[in-house]
Structure 1
Protein backbone atom coordinates (compact mmCIF):
# COMPACT_ATOMS: atom_id res chain seq x y z
CA UNK A 1 0.00 0.00 0.00
CA UNK A 2 1.41 3.37 -0.84
CA UNK A 3 2.53 5.36 2.19
CA UNK A 4 0.67 8.33 0.78
CA UNK A 5 -2.69 6.54 1.11
CA UNK A 6 -2.12 5.79 4.80
CA UNK A 7 -1.17 9.41 5.46
CA UNK A 8 -4.20 10.61 3.54
CA UNK A 9 -6.50 8.36 5.58
CA UNK A 10 -5.10 9.59 8.90
CA UNK A 11 -5.23 13.21 7.76
CA UNK A 12 -8.89 12.87 6.71
CA UNK A 13 -9.86 11.32 10.03
CA UNK A 14 -8.08 14.02 12.04
CA UNK A 15 -9.46 16.81 9.85
CA UNK A 16 -13.00 15.42 10.13
CA UNK A 17 -12.72 15.22 13.91
CA UNK A 18 -11.21 18.69 14.22
CA UNK A 19 -13.91 20.20 11.97
CA UNK A 20 -16.56 18.48 14.09
CA UNK A 21 -15.22 20.09 17.26
CA UNK A 22 -13.37 17.14 18.77
CA UNK A 23 -10.31 18.27 20.71
CA UNK A 24 -7.32 16.42 19.26
CA UNK A 25 -5.74 15.26 22.48
CA UNK A 26 -3.07 12.57 22.68
CA UNK A 27 -5.80 10.01 23.40
CA UNK A 28 -7.88 11.12 20.43
CA UNK A 29 -4.87 10.87 18.11
CA UNK A 30 -4.09 7.38 19.40
CA UNK A 31 -7.66 6.29 18.73
CA UNK A 32 -7.40 7.76 15.22
CA UNK A 33 -4.21 5.78 14.64
CA UNK A 34 -5.90 2.57 15.86
CA UNK A 35 -8.83 3.28 13.54
CA UNK A 36 -6.54 3.62 10.52
CA UNK A 37 -4.51 0.56 11.55
CA UNK A 38 -7.67 -1.55 11.82
CA UNK A 39 -8.93 -0.33 8.44
CA UNK A 40 -5.56 -1.13 6.85
CA UNK A 41 -5.79 -4.65 8.29
CA UNK A 42 -9.09 -5.13 6.45
CA UNK A 43 -7.38 -4.53 3.13
CA UNK A 44 -5.71 -1.83 1.18
CA UNK A 45 -7.13 0.06 -1.72
CA UNK A 46 -8.07 3.51 -2.84
CA UNK A 47 -11.18 3.41 -0.62
CA UNK A 48 -9.10 3.35 2.60
CA UNK A 49 -9.69 7.01 3.54
CA UNK A 50 -13.45 6.65 3.00
CA UNK A 51 -13.58 3.46 5.08
CA UNK A 52 -11.69 5.22 7.85
CA UNK A 53 -14.08 8.17 7.90
CA UNK A 54 -17.04 5.76 7.90
CA UNK A 55 -15.56 4.03 10.99
CA UNK A 56 -15.27 7.20 13.08
CA UNK A 57 -18.52 6.60 15.06
CA UNK A 58 -17.15 3.23 16.21
CA UNK A 59 -14.11 4.90 17.81
CA UNK A 60 -15.36 8.31 18.89
CA UNK A 61 -18.44 9.17 20.93
CA UNK A 62 -19.21 12.85 20.73
CA UNK A 63 -22.43 14.82 20.90
CA UNK A 64 -23.93 15.95 17.65
CA UNK A 65 -25.21 19.48 17.49
CA UNK A 66 -28.96 19.68 17.75
CA UNK A 67 -30.51 21.79 15.03
CA UNK A 68 -33.68 23.40 16.35
CA UNK A 69 -36.94 23.25 14.46
CA UNK A 70 -37.92 26.22 12.35
CA UNK A 71 -40.06 28.70 14.23
CA UNK A 72 -42.69 29.53 13.20
CA UNK A 73 -43.39 26.31 11.32
CA UNK A 74 -42.92 26.55 7.58
CA UNK A 75 -46.07 26.21 5.49
CA UNK A 76 -46.21 25.64 1.78
CA UNK A 77 -48.38 28.04 -0.12
CA UNK A 78 -49.78 28.35 -3.59
CA UNK A 79 -48.78 31.29 -5.74
CA UNK A 80 -51.42 30.87 -8.43
CA UNK A 81 -49.71 28.85 -11.15
CA UNK A 82 -52.03 26.39 -12.88
Structure 2
Protein backbone atom coordinates (compact mmCIF):
# COMPACT_ATOMS: atom_id res chain seq x y z
CA UNK A 1 0.00 0.00 0.00
CA UNK A 2 1.53 3.35 -0.99
CA UNK A 3 2.27 5.82 1.75
CA UNK A 4 -0.31 8.57 2.08
CA UNK A 5 1.01 12.13 1.73
CA UNK A 6 0.03 13.10 5.30
CA UNK A 7 1.88 10.04 6.62
CA UNK A 8 4.95 11.09 4.68
CA UNK A 9 4.68 14.64 6.03
CA UNK A 10 4.34 13.45 9.64
CA UNK A 11 7.23 11.02 9.24
CA UNK A 12 9.46 13.77 7.86
CA UNK A 13 8.54 16.17 10.66
CA UNK A 14 9.24 13.56 13.35
CA UNK A 15 12.52 12.52 11.71
CA UNK A 16 13.60 16.17 11.42
CA UNK A 17 12.80 16.82 15.07
CA UNK A 18 14.57 13.68 16.25
CA UNK A 19 17.65 14.49 14.16
CA UNK A 20 17.62 18.01 15.59
CA UNK A 21 17.72 16.59 19.12
CA UNK A 22 14.10 17.16 20.15
CA UNK A 23 12.77 14.41 22.43
CA UNK A 24 9.78 12.73 20.79
CA UNK A 25 7.48 12.76 23.80
CA UNK A 26 3.72 12.31 23.56
CA UNK A 27 3.33 16.11 23.68
CA UNK A 28 5.84 16.59 20.86
CA UNK A 29 4.02 14.01 18.73
CA UNK A 30 0.66 15.70 19.35
CA UNK A 31 2.22 19.05 18.39
CA UNK A 32 3.59 17.47 15.20
CA UNK A 33 0.11 16.13 14.40
CA UNK A 34 -1.34 19.64 14.88
CA UNK A 35 1.34 21.04 12.57
CA UNK A 36 0.46 18.54 9.82
CA UNK A 37 -3.28 19.10 10.35
CA UNK A 38 -2.91 22.88 10.02
CA UNK A 39 -0.72 22.51 6.94
CA UNK A 40 -3.28 20.15 5.37
CA UNK A 41 -6.04 22.70 6.00
CA UNK A 42 -4.04 25.14 3.84
CA UNK A 43 -4.04 22.57 1.03
CA UNK A 44 -2.92 18.96 0.75
CA UNK A 45 -0.89 19.30 -2.45
CA UNK A 46 2.32 17.45 -3.24
CA UNK A 47 4.31 20.16 -1.43
CA UNK A 48 2.72 19.23 1.93
CA UNK A 49 5.84 17.60 3.45
CA UNK A 50 8.00 20.61 2.51
CA UNK A 51 5.46 23.07 3.93
CA UNK A 52 5.32 21.09 7.17
CA UNK A 53 9.11 21.24 7.51
CA UNK A 54 9.02 24.99 6.81
CA UNK A 55 6.41 25.44 9.59
CA UNK A 56 8.37 23.60 12.30
CA UNK A 57 9.90 26.77 13.86
CA UNK A 58 6.36 28.08 14.49
CA UNK A 59 5.43 24.98 16.48
CA UNK A 60 8.65 23.89 18.18
CA UNK A 61 11.44 25.62 20.02
CA UNK A 62 14.49 24.04 18.46
CA UNK A 63 17.73 23.82 20.42
CA UNK A 64 20.24 26.49 19.44
CA UNK A 65 23.38 25.00 17.98
CA UNK A 66 26.46 27.09 18.51
CA UNK A 67 29.43 26.58 16.25
CA UNK A 68 32.75 27.17 18.00
CA UNK A 69 35.30 29.56 16.54
CA UNK A 70 38.16 28.08 14.58
CA UNK A 71 41.26 27.59 16.66
CA UNK A 72 43.82 28.81 15.76
CA UNK A 73 42.09 31.67 13.94
CA UNK A 74 41.96 31.33 10.17
CA UNK A 75 44.02 33.80 8.15
CA UNK A 76 43.55 34.60 4.50
CA UNK A 77 46.47 33.98 2.23
CA UNK A 78 47.48 32.91 -1.22
CA UNK A 79 49.87 30.40 -2.66
CA UNK A 80 51.82 32.80 -4.89
CA UNK A 81 49.93 32.65 -8.19
CA UNK A 82 49.91 35.90 -10.14
- Per-residue deviation, 1:62: 2.6
The TM-score with structure 2 as length reference comes to 0.93
Number of positions where the alignment pairs a residue of Structure 1 with one of Structure 2: 81
Cα deviation per residue 1:24-67 (whole Å; 9 max; x = unaligned)?
Answer: 00000000000000000001111000000000000001322111
Instruction: List alignment gaps of at least 5 residues for structure 1.
Output: none
Cα RMSD (Å): 1.4
TM-score, scaled relative to structure 1: 0.93
Instruction: Structure 2: state its 5+ residue gaps.
Output: none
Runs of 4+ in 1 over 2 A off after TM superposition: none
